Amino acid sequence: MSDGRPELPARLLEKVRQLHQSIEQHNHNYYVLDTPTISDLDYDRLFRELKDLETRYPALITSTSPTQRVGASPLSSFQPASHRTAMLSLNNAFEDQEVSEFDRRMRETLEIDALSYAVEPKLDGVAISLVYEDGILVEAATRGDGSTGENVTQNIRTVRAIPLTLSGKVIPGLIEIRGEIHMRKLDFERLNQTQAKRGDKVFINARNAAAGSLRQLNPKITARRPLTFFAYAVGTLEGMKSPSTHSEMMDLLETFKIPVCPERAVVEGTEGLLNYHRRLEGLRPSLPYEMDGVVYKVNTLKQQEQIGFVARAPRFALAHKFVAEEAETLVEEISIQVGRTGVLTPVARLKSVFVGGVKVSNATLHNEDEVHRKDLRVGDTVKVRRAGDVIPEVVSVILENRPEDTKPFVMPKHCPVCDSEVVRIEGEIAVRCPNGLSCKAQLKGALSHFSSRRAMDIEGLGVKLIEQLIESKQVLSIADLYSLDHERLAGLERMADKSATNLINAIEKSKDTTLARVIYALGIRNVGASTALDLARNFGELDVLMEADEMRLLAVPEVGPIVALSLIDFFSVSKNREVINRLKAAGLTWPSVPLEQGSLRPLLGKTFVLTGTLEGMTREEAKKEITAAGGKVTGSVSKKTSYLVAGADPGGKLKKAEALEVTVLNEEALMSLLSE
């Protein structure tokens, strides 16, 4: 054999190849098509035959053998895996009008009258990326923060619905496939029955079961869980001609024996989108998998490219959620939670009830004004739903069931944690505790956020341990985490010697990080993980960001006045700067980030709209040039548009730009701007 293993008879190699092919075909029939063509006994006979041959001739064992799906040795942790192209989230719609607006925006951007869309169910599972090189599965990663996920290749190899090698006459040199790991309803019920019989944890819903199974450090456990997969996109394709539409791309994946949802379709216009949504909502109870809506995508891939992306989501796609399921229950208490930014949030403590397959016992009430608007009181019977099938919320009060002795809600005048007098800044809805990290609740929130997976990713630092560290006064700021030692940790309740060692190692590991993680971990109000990534790419160094003024901050795409003010306020506090200096002194390091191309150029912060036909370049080429110079290209003209670039036959956008007094450039003027 060419790879250095001993030569084996050709007939033996052919026999093994046929067994590989036959077993994987039966896996596909059973786990993907749900139409098994042989009995379990016959399948086991084929599997044992292959296993026996590999036992007698170990040189036959390959990474793509069906026998290698049983799970490898346990991992100590998951390693990071960078995505070749970002795995973005989707913008959501809940009303039909939002779908109509989406279709209008797409047609106006493309300047056409009618448009085809690829439509498919929005599965309630875990996003995953599969990378095949020359037809062989080489890497699988979770979505993570969109840029970097966790390498879960060993676990994914145990999912029999996912082929270890691609089928087909023409195989791409490289393909990255995006999809959803999920668990079918019946398989989920059977898993919970098995868990209950063993006395093990019973899962609340299928999504949690899938996520927990995928993140097992022992792949043998994952192998025992009934996970399956549907692909919904291709991130990268090299070594073969790409199809022209999304629907054709999904058809191509099917030829590779990659599972694709059978309920997908292609429709025309708003009416087609809404009809599909209604049909799938009606089918929802009878389908074998959980879904919380449908996804619409402009079908033609070239048109997708023309429409482009915003920072966190593609413009050419939309998730249309189903109406949330509702249930009635009793409000037993209204308590107050204090968040890491000091905001006091009223929370309804409910008599437990199942809503959309999830047990709900708490629902956020958002703020004092919202409680008064709904006139919510302890003792009320209320309707509860999961907003977007995720966050529990109180929809309304059933007034006819209200007891006579109920009293209106009153927001406390003092923080329930530190007893500081609360404040409500004029013009703001939020009531805040002003005591900062001297308030244990805010310190607890800050530490939980700082150590979370998308921030410093300190594994083992859970809520209970954080509470102990605060109570024992070992940690009074996020910087104190880096002065913890093994002896003090091991002396805490439920902290054995090994647990203390693991935590110290995790804290030490977190010192080697990235600028985006550090910015996010600091817990600056209104700065999420995506915004932190934008800031890192546009400033390159934390010191530069700390000194930035409002104008410079507003030049960053997706940073508006509220975020800019939050950043300026945070870095103007001497205690925050002191914490940053202590983190650096403790050994936190991160590489400088290469600045985004055009991040310091004159077009930064400028918004362009393109219309008509350009002579010297295509509109897509013009868009790339503008983006490279720091500008932003959108599809429709508004008051926020800086320039309209008008070529031949400009259409209605020119009239709108003139009406709004937006500066209009011809191609020559655009080239002059770009040359600066």
Is there a contact between 234 and 176 (Cβ–Cβ < 8 Å)? yes
Is there a contact between 359 and 204 (Cβ–Cβ < 8 Å)? yes
Amino acid at residue number 327: A
Active centre residues (catalytic):
122
Is there a contact between 189 and 88 (Cβ–Cβ < 8 Å)? no
Look at residue 337 and give its three-state secondary structure.
strand
Question: Kind of pairing, strands 326-338 and 344-355?
Answer: antiparallel
Rounded (to 5) percent helix, strand, coil in the chain: 40, 20, 40
Rounded to whole angstroms, the Cα distance separating 273 from 278 reads 9
Radius of gyration, CA atoms only, the chain: 28
Helix axes 96-110, 269-283, angle to 10 degrees: 140
Burial annotation 592-626 (CB, 10 A radius, 16+ → b, else e): ebeebebbebebbbbbbbbbbebeeeebeebbebb
Rounded to whole angstroms, the Cα distance separating 355 from 384 reads 8
Rounded to whole angstroms, the Cα distance separating 120 from 280 reads 9
What is the dihedral sign for C-alpha 108, 110, 114, 118? negative
Rounded to whole angstroms, the Cα distance separating 116 from 266 reads 7
**The 3-state secondary structure of 436-501, one letter per residue:** HHHCHHHHHHHHHHHHCCCCCCCCCCCHHHHHHHHHCCCCCCHHHHHHCCHHHHHCCCCCCHHHHH
Is there a contact between 57 and 12 (Cβ–Cβ < 8 Å)? yes
Instruction: Write out the two tokens for 650.
Output: 């400009």
Give the other-Cβ count within 10 Å of 34's Cβ: 11
Instruction: Write out the two tokens for 19.
Output: 């067994």
Helical residues (DSSP H) of 512-628, grouped into ranges: 515-521, 529-539, 542-546, 550-554, 561-571, 574-585, 619-628
Question: Kind of pairing, strands 265-268 and 116-123?
Answer: antiparallel
Look at residue 346 and give its three-state secondary structure.
strand
Give the other-Cβ count within 10 Å of 575's Cβ: 10
Instruction: Write out the two tokens for 189.
Output: 């019920």
Tell me the backbone φ, ψ of residue 200, rounded to 5 degrees. -90, 175
Give the torsion through C-alpha atoms of 452, 454, 455, 457, to 10 deg: 60
Q: Measured between alpha carbons, how far is residue 480 from residues 340, 429, 570 in Å?
A: 17, 33, 19
Rounded to whole angstroms, the Cα distance separating 31 from 160 reads 7
Rounded to whole angstroms, the Cα distance separating 318 from 276 reads 14
DSSP state letter for 7? P
Q: What one-character-per-residue DSSP string does 190-245 give?
A: HHHHHHHHHT-PPPSSHHHHHHHHHT-SSHHHHHTS--EEEEEEEEEEESSPPPSB
Instruction: Write out the two tokens for 427.
Output: 């013009």
* Of residues 69, 221, 47, 25, the one with CA closest to residue 157: 69
* Of residues 517, 522, 537, the one with CA closest to residue 590: 517
